[in-house]
Amino acid sequence: MIGGFLASSINGVPVFYIVPIVIFLPIVLFLLFKVVGLGNILFPPREVVAERKRAEKAKNEYEEKRRQKGLSQVRPDKSPKSPLLWALQAPPYIAFAIVLGIFSSWPGYTYHAADHALIKLSLSHPGKRKVECRKRTREELAKLPPNMRTPMQCSRERWPVLVELKVDGETVFRQYRNPAGLSKDGASSFYEKFAVPAGTHKLNIGINDTGGTETTDFVLERSVDLKPAQALVVGFHESDHRIFLK
């Protein structure tokens, strides 16, 4: 019941995302406003505002009286006066500028070796339903409220998806990913990066979305010529159910 509610959506926004906000936001706001004291800062009570105004007025009157008596606040000037001291300030400024200038772009960082290419495995694919859909009988439909009489009855939970990537016959990635969602009815997502030396490589990508261990549900085997620093994306077209390289 609760699981079903959480898995539903309101105006396209999944309840799963809304519930934590509804629960935690008041708690966070309570902590911020009452414990941290943000409430008193942002929305001070009326008497505090009145008190501040009165205090400000008193302070101004006090300062005014002192001004009239020629006693207004005189801060001793502690700033450097001599040009020699100003000149002596140059080295610290220069040192700070050097530190700023240098570390804003040095030392260099090699993120990716220049003679290597990058294979990005980025796909999002829902596994098959754990229980296949079946057509409801007339009796079953009659028992349901009118607004819920969909002809097909489908289980929500899907199989985890297994993806395997082989480069030149060597397995560089093989992992199951669970479906997203509390009811495990979403897509399984993969986002992985592999650096390979530039040149020709034989790629073999296999997907299993039916709960098995063999990656034979979808397969793509192709030889690719990768240039240095090239980024090759391995993805899955959901519309025509095929693995693609781009």
> By the 8 A CB rule, do 203 and 220 touch?
yes
Compute the least distance from the CB of residue 180 to another protein, in Å: 7
How many residues bind another protein (CB under 8 A)? The answer is 58
Burial of 205 (0-12, 13-18, 19+ CB in 10 A): buried
Compute the least distance from the CB of residue 4 to another protein, in Å: 19
Smaller CB separation from another protein, 90 or 152 = 90
- The phi-psi region of residue 186 (left if phi > 0; otherwise alpha if psi is between -120 and 50; otherwise beta) is beta
> By the 8 A CB rule, do 138 and 155 touch?
no
Q: Give yes or no for residue 135 binding another protein (CB under 8 A).
A: no
Member of 1, 12, 23, 104 binding another protein (CB under 8 A): 104
Q: How many CB atoms lie within 10 A of CB 130?
A: 15
Q: Give yes or no for residue 230 binding another protein (CB under 8 A).
A: yes
**Contacts (Cβ under 8 Å, ≥6 apart) of 186:** 126, 158, 179, 180
Compute the least distance from the CB of residue 219 to another protein, in Å: 22
Question: Could you give the angle at the alpha carbon of 124 between the alpha carbons of 121 and 126, nearest 5°?
Answer: 140
Q: Give yes or no for residue 3 binding another protein (CB under 8 A).
A: no
Compute the least distance from the CB of residue 135 to another protein, in Å: 30
Q: Give yes or no for residue 79 binding another protein (CB under 8 A).
A: yes
Smaller CB separation from another protein, 61 or 214 = 61
> By the 8 A CB rule, do 224 and 200 touch?
yes
Q: What is the DSSP letter of 117?
A: E
Q: Give yes or no for residue 36 binding another protein (CB under 8 A).
A: yes
Q: Give yes or no for residue 28 binding another protein (CB under 8 A).
A: no
Burial of 169 (0-12, 13-18, 19+ CB in 10 A): exposed
Q: Give yes or no for residue 145 binding another protein (CB under 8 A).
A: no
In the region spanning residues 152 to 171, those forming contacts with another protein, defined by CB under 8 A, are none
Q: Give yes or no for residue 180 binding another protein (CB under 8 A).
A: yes
> By the 8 A CB rule, do 228 and 117 touch?
yes
Adjacent-strand bridge partners of 218: 207
Q: Which stretch binds another protein (CB under 8 A): 21-29, 119-127, 168-176, 203-211?
A: 119-127
Tell me which residues touch another protein (CB under 8 A): 17, 36-38, 41, 51, 54-55, 58-59, 62, 71-76, 78-80, 85-86, 88-89, 92-94, 96-97, 99-101, 103-106, 108-114, 117-118, 120, 122, 124, 180, 186, 189, 191, 229-231, 233, 235, 246
